[in-house]
Amino acid sequence: MTDIDSFCKFFVDELSNKCFFGFDECLNMEVKPNTVHRAVVEHLVRQAVYQRMGKSVPSTGQSPNPLVVNVSARHCHLTQEAVESLFGKNHQLTPMKWLYQDGQFAAKETVTLVGPRSRVISNLRILGPCRTLNQVELAYTDAIALGFDIPLRQSGKIEGTPGGMLMGPEGFFEMSEGIIRAERHVHMNPEDAAFYNVSAGDRMKLKTGGPCAVTFDEMLVRVDNSFKLEVHIDTDEGNSVNLKPDTPCELVK
Provide the binding-site residues for Zn ion, judged by CB under 5 A. 232
CB 237 within 8 A of CB 246: no
Tell me whether residue 185 is exposed, middle or buried, using C-beta atoms within 10 angstroms of its C-beta: 0 to 12, 13 to 18, 19 or more.
buried
| E strand or H helix at 48 | helix 38-53
Instruction: In angstroms, give the least distance from the CB of 231 to Zn ion.
Output: 8
Shortest distance (Å) from residue 70 CB to Zn ion: 8
Smallest gap from residue 102 Cβ to Zn ion (A): 13
| Nearer of residues 153 and 232 to Zn ion, judged by Cβ | 232
Rounded Cα distance between 69 and 4, Å, is 19
Supply the minimum distance, in Å, between the C-beta of residue 230 and Zn ion.
Answer: 7
The phi, psi pair for 47, rounded to 5°, reads -60, -40
Q: Which residues pair with 72 in a beta bridge?
A: 234
Nearer to Zn ion, 19 or 198 (CB): 198
Q: What is the nearest approach in angstroms of Zn ion to the Cβ of residue 227?
A: 9
CB 193 within 8 A of CB 200: yes
Q: Which is nearer to Zn ion, 43 or 185 (CB)?
A: 185
Residue number with the shortest CB distance to Zn ion?
232
Cβ closest to Zn ion, residue 77 vs residue 232: 232
CA distance 95 to 181: 24
β-pair partners for 95:
107
Q: Least separation, in Å, of the C-beta of 187 and Zn ion? A: 5
Nearest CB to Zn ion, comparing residues 43 and 187: 187
Closer residue to Zn ion, CB minimum distance, 109 or 234 = 234
CA dihedral 67, 140, 152, 216 (to 10 degrees): 40
